[in-house]
Structure 1
Amino acid sequence: MGMGIDGLTSGLKTTDIINALIAAEARPQTLMKGKVVTDTALVTAMQALNTKFAALTTQAAALAKAGGLDMYQATSSSDAITAKLGSGAQATSLDLTVNKLAQAHSMVSAPMKEWPTTPAVMTFVKADGTKTEVTAETGSLDEMAYAINHSAAGISAVKVASGVDANGDPQFRLQLTAKDTGAANAFTAHQGTIAEVGAGTAVNLAGVAGSATLRTGQDAQVTLWAGTAAEQSITSASNTFAAIAPGIDITVNKLSADPVAVTVARDAGKVTAAAKELASAVNVILGSIFTQSTVTAGAGTGGTASAKGGLFTGERTVSDAKTKLFTAATAPVDGLSPATIGINTTKNGDLAFDADVFAAAYAKDPVATEKMLQTIASRVADTAKAISDPIDGALTQRVKGQESIINDLNAQIVDWDLRLANRRSSLQAVYTSLEVQMSKMQSQQSWLTAQIGSMDAANSKK
């Protein structure tokens, strides 16, 4: 920056001269700034690559662990039963007959205009003897239904129109239904309090003329191995039987006269998809390194050819990581090439997965195919972890080292800013002093010129 001293006496463009000198002295700083930009771009790219390696570590390790390829599917030979897989499923086949479906206990009262007693009290008694007393604010059947629905009885109530009586008065019924299915949720409904039920003086609604039990609460029931010496019946309060075998739940939908076969078998499609996803994840990393290591041709100055490297060009750590990952995925297993299960190498240095070859190998020998895939996954996981481990991973260490260099360069750049600012001040002081001295000399020259002129004038008069 200038101080307004340009050409005060000398006519020199002092600011331009100082700027040129500072620019020359700042060249090392300019080079450092350029290196910071380049190195920061490299660190960003390596961090992104490290994240991919870390994700691959997790993915591959999940496949390599014991049970990592325990992928099953459940099928049923009839729509009478729906099967659903859970954790810990094992290959099995069960023959089941559906004898009963779970249902909720339900009844309807005799026709009435309003609740017949005051106060309007009901008591529900569950199958296990649990009693719940419900009191409505008035004798209105709407009020009674509301009280029942908001009580702890576990019963839903609805008022249903039921025509008119002999006098033409509107009649209604209360339909009462257990909120949950199962025999344990069956109930009896009584007009009266808990004490009156205990004393036997409360009226059982089901015994009033015109009332009816619509459904009796019952459990679902299935029979295993029906007709054999091992025949066994199993019940459930709902239509779902949890963990009827390890890792499998079934839901019964309708009765079945004939046994239904529920089968749990290995899912070749899921295993094939897992192998494909592993190969794809490896390819993403190999492709990323290849793309950012490619040297591209371009035109230099004067029409000469030039070449520009990618961010990873010459990066030995990244190159070694690529080589190790490729080797982990493609090296033979027990003398057999991964190509035997569809994991092929290409001329571009990446992988090509053949799902048909994998499926054929799996159909022929699932145990050997899974063993090879898990061995490859284990090698890939170990390699990716050695590269991306947050403490001592090779790529992690490279990133930390590069970040240290960038921090050091930034510190030097700040020091250079101070040094150049001091140098500018020094140059400005020098040139200011020069202008002052030249101004003094000019003043002296003017004085001497004036004196000489006076002497010449005096001599000319003599």
Structure 2
Amino acid sequence: MGMAVDGLISGLDTTSLINQLMQAEAIPQTLLKNKVTDSTTYITALQSLNSKVAALADSAGKLAKPAGVDLHTASSSSTSVTATAGPGATDGTIDFTVDKVAQSQVTVTGPLTQWPDQPPVLTFVGSDGKVTQVTATSSSLADVAAAINKAGVGVSATRVSAGLDPSGQPLYRLQLSSTKTGATGSFTAYRGTPADVTAGTATNLLTEPGAAQVRAAQDAQLTLWAGTGAAQVVTSSTNSFTDVLPGVSVSVTTASTTPVTLTIARDDASITNVASSLVGSINDILSFISQQQAVTTSTNSTGGTVVTAGTFAGDLTVRDADQKLTAAAQAPIDGISPSTYGIVVASDGSISLDKDVFAAAMAKDPDKTKAAVQAVAARVADAAGLISDKHDGTVTTKITGEQKTVKGLSDQVADWDVRLADRRSTLEKTYANLEVQLQQLQSQSSWLTGQLASLSTSSS
């Protein structure tokens, strides 16, 4: 508790005195706080490094897999046909015609003011023979549509306005549509129960006045090598085909008898990009380490030179990480230098991909060049994993250790807060007691002076 007023008796600036004493007392705590600040900065830098390396481990691991550089482009001679080439695709061309596109079944009832049965009971029979009964809560066509939609029979129902009957009552049709395309989406709808359907007494909705099938369910169909003895039909319940060519997905939008040519080719541009991305990620990490290791100089207020070591300067863990990644990128591949494939190391240690050299290597031996990229990626993934593994990576472990150190230092700082508070309280009490004692001495002095004065008067 601080004193309300500085030394009234002594005239001392006790607050300033105590503050100066406390500054001296707090030097050990200040040193601890500086260590916490430095360690926190170090941990932040390590975490940033670890995040970069972990991301590299993930991307390099994917690139090292067979599909990593198995990249192709797919092009079509028709705007109504699109294709995507994925892993497993092979270069080549193929011709086919789009005979049919996939479509859902659409059926409409005749015009009705309300459903003719009460309660409305319908039975749906799917293409697989599955029989489902639907019962509506009333003869309202809106309730019938709602019951069909809720039943999950693979059919959606919509009430559509159809004018007025002779008495002026509104008429509606129910449009029944299969929820999926293809022949498997076909259905038959009946008025009546499943037992009525079995007995042959149920009414097929299509046989009622004004009813019609707007569109029949059908599969999409391609014909390979149309017009030849090798003609082959391929069907799909959707407008997408995944079994025309290995690793190639084909989508169609319009039927046409005009042959479509599909061309699959190696995607050199994408392969170059993934190789460049790998090398760029490695270089980004090495540059980050170099920046954090750099020693800087500055001038202080008196004109002197101040030399400041980088956060990672002299750090053996970080140096080891740098060496592992550099070796993974620079080591020969089956006795061949990575520079043969365009992976170039500059005099300052930076790494880059010479795209012209890489393109020449791809043109000369694409399989060997792709294998070289995957070999480097595999080595980098392994090295990055050893560094950044979330359980026992070298940098991860270092971060964990430093965090424990910071916690210990922070606990010591907190202990010092208590210790310094006690010390300040002691000093305040000491100076307060000093004032009391000085006051007592001053009172005694005044009394003695008075006594002496009275003695002198008596003597005279």
Q: TM-score range by the shorter chain?
A: 0.7 to 0.9
Task: Tell me which moved more, 336-345 or 209-218.
Answer: 209-218
Change in CA separation of 1:413 and 1:340 when aligned onto 2, cut-off 3 Å: same
Is structure 2 residue 15 aligned with structure 1 residue 15? yes
| Correspondence 1:285-304 to 2 at 5 A | 285-304=285-304
Which residue in 2 is equivalent to 1:41? 41
Deviation of residue 421 (structure 1)?
Answer: 3.2
Change in CA separation of 1:428 and 1:211 when aligned onto 2, cut-off 3 Å: closer
Change in CA separation of 1:158 and 1:244 when aligned onto 2, cut-off 3 Å: farther
Change in CA separation of 1:347 and 1:202 when aligned onto 2, cut-off 3 Å: same
d(CA) in 2 for partners of 1:157, 1:115: 14
Which residue in 2 is equivalent to 1:325? 325
| Correspondence 1:187-226 to 2 at 5 A | 217-226=217-226
Sequence identity of aligned pairs in percent?
45
Provide the aligned length of Structure 1 versus Structure 2: 457
Q: What CA RMSD, in Å, does the superposition of the two structures yield over aligned residues?
A: 4.4
Deviation of residue 193 (structure 1)?
Answer: 7.5
Matched position secondary structure for 2:84: strand
Is structure 2 residue 62 aligned with structure 1 residue 62? yes
- Per-residue CA deviations over 1:399-441 (Å, capped at 9, x if unaligned) read 2232233222222223333333333344344444444444444
- Per-residue CA deviations over 1:165-221 (Å, capped at 9, x if unaligned) read 9xxx99999887655544455567778887776666778787799987665544333
Which residue in 1 is equivalent to 2:413? 413
Larger Rg: 1
Letter in structure 2 aligned against 1:281: S
- Per-residue CA deviations over 1:49-78 (Å, capped at 9, x if unaligned) read 211111111111111234332333333344
Which residue in 2 is equivalent to 1:154? 155
Which residue in 2 is equivalent to 1:349? 349
Task: Tell whether the 8 Å contact from 2:155 to 2:176 is kept in structure 1 after alignment.
Answer: no
Deviation of residue 89 (structure 1)?
Answer: 3.2
TM norm structure 2: 0.78
d(CA) in 2 for partners of 1:418, 1:139: 82
Is structure 2 residue 272 aligned with structure 1 residue 272? yes
| Correspondence 1:11-160 to 2 at 5 A | 11-79=11-79, 81-85=81-85, 88-91=87-90, 93=92, 94-104=94-104, 152=153, 154=155
d(CA) in 2 for partners of 1:446, 1:114: 119
d(CA) in 2 for partners of 1:211, 1:5: 103
d(CA) in 1 for partners of 2:334, 2:323: 21
- Per-residue CA deviations over 1:319-356 (Å, capped at 9, x if unaligned) read 43234323322333233332333322334432233334
Which residue in 1 is equivalent to 2:381? 381
Matched position secondary structure for 1:385: helix
Task: Tell me which moved more, 382-391 or 304-313.
Answer: 304-313
- Per-residue CA deviations over 1:251-275 (Å, capped at 9, x if unaligned) read 3444455654434443222222211
Task: Tell whether the 8 Å contact from 2:136 to 2:143 is kept in structure 1 after alignment.
Answer: yes
Task: Tell whether the 8 Å contact from 1:64 to 1:374 is kept in structure 2 after alignment.
Answer: yes
Unaligned segments of structure 1, at least 5 residues: none
Change in CA separation of 1:353 and 1:8 when aligned onto 2, cut-off 3 Å: same
d(CA) in 2 for partners of 1:297, 1:138: 88
Is structure 2 residue 307 aligned with structure 1 residue 307? yes
d(CA) in 2 for partners of 1:10, 1:142: 98
Change in CA separation of 1:6 and 1:357 when aligned onto 2, cut-off 3 Å: same
d(CA) in 2 for partners of 1:76, 1:35: 65
Task: Tell whether the 8 Å contact from 2:154 to 2:185 is kept in structure 1 after alignment.
Answer: no
Change in CA separation of 1:388 and 1:181 when aligned onto 2, cut-off 3 Å: closer
